[in-house]
Amino acid sequence: MVELGPLSDKNLWLILRSGTLFFDGRPHPVRAFTAAKTKPNQCRQCWRLGHSEAWCRQTNPVCGTCAQGHPSHHHHAVAPNAAQLCVLCKGAHPSWTRWCVNRHIQLAAQPPLPKKKPAKPSAASKRHASKVTAGSSTNVPSSTTEPSGDVVTHL
């Protein structure tokens, strides 16, 4: 894997659209990389876990640094001397800190969903796939053995 950067959005889009990047005179396939979501979804409006600001029911913003009623990006202008206070546990740290005890408790209560594994094809679908592959890619007859023991030739 190679990370490209910094590129303009236009150049990045052109490379991804072409699907090929030439490096050292040779073509290499490219695709966008999306990292698996490993951290919990934390709202930047109320700083609670489990939803994003787009789904937040709280109308007034809460500062993630001091838990007061102003947006976090205004903290240094509005309350520069306010002590750090976590919205989740009321500890003396910002609300986004990964080592917050309450954060770990909530994560344990709602662990991330496991990745979906592709279903293993059944014997019937394997037979069907071989029939489709044999029929569509070549004109060579193929034979399969049915569970009953009968040999079936496909043209």
Residue 62: Cβ-neighbour burial (10 angstroms; 0-12, 13-18, 19+)? buried
pLDDT in tens, 69-80: 999 999 988 888
For the entire predicted model, the pTM comes to: 0.46
The confidence score (pLDDT) of residue 146 equals 64
Please state, in angstroms and rounded to a whole number, the distance separating the CA atoms of residues 139 and 155: 7
The confidence score (pLDDT) of residue 50 equals 84
